[in-house]
Structures are given as structure tokens and as C-alpha cells.
Structure 1
Amino acid sequence: MSVVASNLVWGVRRKRIVSDVSLSVAQGETLGLIGPNGSGKSSLLRLLAGLRRPQSGRVEISGQDISQIPRRALARQLAFVQQNAATDTNVSVRDVVRLGRTPHRSALSGWSAVDELAVASALERVDMTDRRAQPWQTLSGGERQRVHIARALAQSPRVMFLDEPTNHLDIHHQIEILRMVRDLDLTSIVALHDLNLAALFCDRIAVLQNGVLVACGRPAEVLTQSLLRDIFRVQAEVNNIDQTGRPHIRFKTG
């Protein structure tokens, strides 16, 4: 399922946060969103996922304007993983992941074998099967993040939006989560802070600065020394680490 954004504009009062952004993501592609803090990554993700209505512009999935799709039908196609989510309810890990099946069930339908399989598969994918009965409140920040991703996977979406999915994760789970996202048979748009992880796991990278899309292309095309200097204000060396042509960034401290 493809995602196409055309001339998206959104802001608060007189401050424009997303400014005339147009981009497209092909079916099965993983697009990374990068940019300095406050560049508009999270706001753009919410516009693309239909969680915010743009002041102008439109978003289409497979050629259909998402503003014309009923919310429940949209939730069966799109999943969103936010940076931080909390609950005071005393629920288990499995209960949280079960919420991902809500868009697929009517008020009167019972819990089905298909629902159970989706939940079990999602927990296995994020390496949380052994924690399925554990209370949510006892989890670490990284474990909670993995459960959020499992809940999104349980939706069986065709497009997934992830806002800083590697926050609070150790390096092993950062790599495993992004490898899983890349290898899923769906379209993914991921906001990331770690530029080397974006280069390693994303098919293309879009760069935002002050709400404006300043670059979009393959990692080796986008992550140049000049862009890192001008957008991120850092000095770095950029080298290809293998024959895939994916760049590796080594930051200079002096």
C-alpha cells in the first residue's frame, strides 16, 4: 500500500510546523524521517497517519484520500506507534496487545482464533512472549516500547507509522526492532534520531528542517557531510561500510 502526501501544511496559531511537504512512499518501502528536534517529524507522521487534519494538502493511501475513509476502516489499514504511552490501568502485556485487534472486531463478536494468532505472533516478533502475563506497570521503558509495537502489529496493518520506536531500547533491541520493521511485508514510515540506524535500515530518508522537506532519497544520496553540517550542525565523516553502499557516519568531536 503506497502513501502519497501532497503540499501538507499544518501549524498552531501563527506558527507553521509542517510547511508544504510533499512526498511518496512506495508499497513495501521503509522511509526514515530525520531532522533536528523541533523539525516537525512527529507532526508530519500524525498528518500522514490521519491523526491530524492538515490545514491544506492531502494524504492518499493507494490513491484514496484518507480524509474520505471512515476511522474504523482506516484503523484496519494503518497502525501508529507513538514515542511514549502510559496507562494507570492494571493490565497484562497480553491485554495491551489485544487492543490492537479492536478495529477488526464488532461489539458483539467473540474473541476468535484469528485474533489469538495475531496477538501471539505479534508478541513473538518483539521477543515478549515470555512476558505476556506480566503486569504492564512492572515493565521497563524499553519493554513497554516493544509491547506498543506488538499492539500495532496485532492490528495486521498494511502501513505502519513509528515515532522514535527505538527510544529506551538497548542496542540489541534497537537493531532487532528496526530489522523486523524493514523485513515486514508492509509500508513503514519511521521517525528516527540515530542517523546510522536510519542509514542501515531505511530504503530512503526524508530530512526535515523547520517543517520543510529539504532532502529525500537513498541514504547514500542524502547523508552527506554537507547536509550533516548544514542541517544538524555537526562535523562528520561519511563512508560506505560495505558493498550495499549504505553510509556509515563517524562524528568528529574536535
Structure 2
Amino acid sequence: MSVIAENLTWGVKRRTIVKNISLNVAEGETLGLIGPNGSGKSSLLRLLAGLKRPAEGSVNIHGKDIARTTRRALSKEVAFVQQNATTDTNVSVRDVVRLGRTPHRSALSGWTPADQDAVANALSRVGMDHLQNQSWQTLSGGERQRVHIARALAQSPRVMFLDEPTNHLDIHHQIEILQTIRQLDLTSIIALHDLNLAAMFCDRIITLKDGAIVAAGTPEAVLTEELIRNVFRVNASVSTSPHHGHPEIHFRAS
């Protein structure tokens, strides 16, 4: 397994936000995390990526306990893409992606051909190589998100965590971003709020409610009318897409 979590629990003060969660993710799998706002998706992602330390439980990535792994070593294995990270600095697209090489370089080391190749390859994989000299400030929301993914790829990770990477994007860019992620040769764990996008692009889905797992499995097994009603408190009909075979959710007014 690529990522294994056992009995993760975490909270703030007296509030438990992630409750006794265990999961495993296979090499190359795309796992979706869904749930209403406040269900613990973002907190669970940060625990899995080593950005938060659990009160209880453990996370192993490729057989290594991340609590016993240095931040630098972990950053060579794992990349994290935030919802809408930004910068006020007027830098080029290439300079943003170059930041992904930081875990592989010492303070005194120069820029190497390997670094250059990693940046060029990352830009190419997300289709942004033709804009590498353009200013970050001039990019659209979808282009910026692709650059963030390129920066993560420049780390040369084996596992990528993405926290609602399609948030605030129009539907065209949402699909474009998720197609890009799906085509990468990586293990991906993605928090999503759009159930239809989760059905289209994820191999398996975990549903969270109040910090706990309430369902896990394939999109067909998880995305049922009963679950949507009980977890998201909306009525919906679920059918099978005639084009792709994945579930299609059609929401109905109460």
C-alpha cells in the first residue's frame, strides 16, 4: 500500500475534528474525500500529509512512519496542493514551479540539470510550458491551479494530496484540472465538494461526517440516494452515465 492510516484522531481544545479514522490507499490510486463543510476533510488531508500531528494514531507512507520522518525527507515523497494559494510577488510561472525543488537542494547548492529537467517536465505535464515566462499575476484561476500542481510535481513526489483543487473554478477548468491529476502517474488523495466530479475521477471514495468515516468504496457503492440524503441532507436521484458508466447525481428540491 502507498498510504496507510490507523486510528487517526485529532482536534482543537475540547473539539474532536477527526475521529478514529483508518484507511489505506493503493499505489497509483485516486482516492476522493467527500463530506459536508466541517466534516473533517481538510484536517484529515493535513494529518495524512504530515502537516498536522495526530493526538492518536499513525500514518505510514511507503512503509515509513511519517512521525519519524524528517520534513525534508517527507517533502521528497509527498506534495500538498492547497485550495487557492496565492502570492503578491510579481514572479514568473517558472519561478513558482522552481520552488518545488527546495526539498532536493541544500542552502549552498547551485541549480543543477536535474532541477532544470524536473521543472521543465512538471510544466509540460500540466500543459503550462508555453506560459513559463509569463507573470503569475496575469494567469487565470485555472492556470494558477495548474501551476500549483506543477510546483508539486517538481518535488518529484510519489503521493499528492489536494485540498479541493477545483474550488472557485468554472466547470471547464474543474474538469481540466481533475483530468490532469487523473493522468498523473501518482497516488492522489483529493478532497472534493462536487459529488459528480468525485464519481467521474476517483477510483474510490471515502465519505466523512462529523469527523468520522460513514462510507467507503467505489463511487457506485458509496454514492447512493440514501447516503446523499443522510449525509448531505438533500434529495437526489442517482443514475448510471450512459457514456462513462459512473454514477450521475441529479439533485431535487425538497
TM-score, length-normalised on structure 1?
0.95
* 1:228 Cα deviation after fit: 0.3
Corresponding residue for residue 194 of structure 1: 194
* 1:103 Cα deviation after fit: 0.9
CA change 1:180–1:140 in 2 (3 A) is closer
Q: Identity over aligned residues, as a percent?
A: 70
Corresponding residue for residue 121 of structure 1: 121
Corresponding residue for residue 167 of structure 2: 167
Which region of structure 1 is more displaced relative to structure 2, 165-174 or 92-101?
165-174
- Say whether the 8 Å CA contact 1:122–1:151 is kept in structure 2: yes
**AA of the residue aligned to 2:70:** P
Which region of structure 1 is more displaced relative to structure 2, 51-60 or 113-122?
113-122
Q: Deviations over 1:162-205 (max 9, x none)?
A: 00111233323322221222222211100001111100110000
- Say whether the 8 Å CA contact 1:145–1:168 is kept in structure 2: no
Q: Deviations over 1:83-106 (max 9, x none)?
A: 121222221111010000111112
- Say whether the 8 Å CA contact 1:30–1:188 is kept in structure 2: yes
The reply on whether 1:4 has 2:7 as its aligned counterpart is no
Corresponding residue for residue 87 of structure 2: 87
Say which SS state the counterpart of residue 19 (structure 1) adopts: strand
* 1:131 Cα deviation after fit: 2.2
User: Runs of 4+ in structure 1 displaced over 3 angstroms?
Assistant: 242-245
**AA of the residue aligned to 1:37:** N
Which region of structure 1 is more displaced relative to structure 2, 199-208 or 238-247?
238-247
Q: Deviations over 1:92-121 (max 9, x none)?
A: 111010000111112232212222222122
Corresponding residue for residue 50 of structure 1: 50
Corresponding residue for residue 109 of structure 1: 109
Corresponding residue for residue 233 of structure 1: 233
CA change 1:148–1:243 in 2 (3 A) is closer
CA change 1:171–1:127 in 2 (3 A) is farther
TM-score, length-normalised on structure 2?
0.95
Count of residue pairs brought into register by the alignment: 254
Say which SS state the counterpart of residue 147 (structure 1) adopts: helix
- Say whether the 8 Å CA contact 1:142–1:168 is kept in structure 2: no
Which region of structure 1 is more displaced relative to structure 2, 13-22 or 105-114?
105-114
- Say whether the 8 Å CA contact 2:33–2:191 is kept in structure 1: yes
Instruction: Write the distance in 1 (CA, Å) between the matches of 2:98 and 2:168.
Output: 23
Instruction: Write the distance in 1 (CA, Å) between the matches of 2:117 and 2:198.
Output: 31
* 1:129 Cα deviation after fit: 2.2
Say which SS state the counterpart of residue 207 (structure 1) adopts: strand
**AA of the residue aligned to 1:224:** T
Say which SS state the counterpart of residue 85 (structure 1) adopts: coil
Corresponding residue for residue 156 of structure 1: 156
Say which SS state the counterpart of residue 236 (structure 1) adopts: strand
**AA of the residue aligned to 1:186:** L
Corresponding residue for residue 99 of structure 1: 99
Corresponding residue for residue 185 of structure 1: 185
Cα root mean square deviation, aligned = 1.5
Q: Deviations over 1:147-175 (max 9, x none)?
A: 11110011111000000111233323322
Instruction: Write the distance in 1 (CA, Å) between the matches of 2:55 and 2:77.
Output: 23
* 1:243 Cα deviation after fit: 7.7
**AA of the residue aligned to 1:143:** E
Instruction: Write the distance in 2 (CA, Å) between the matches of 1:173 and 1:202.
Output: 17
Q: Deviations over 1:125-150 (max 9, x none)?
A: 22322321222223333322221111
Say which SS state the counterpart of residue 121 (structure 1) adopts: helix
Instruction: Write the distance in 2 (CA, Å) between the matches of 1:223 and 1:57.
Output: 28
Corresponding residue for residue 62 of structure 2: 62
* 1:8 Cα deviation after fit: 0.5
Which region of structure 1 is more displaced relative to structure 2, 191-200 or 235-244?
235-244
Q: Can you give the 5+ residue segments of structure 1 that lack an aligned partner in the other structure?
A: none
- Say whether the 8 Å CA contact 2:76–2:155 is kept in structure 1: yes
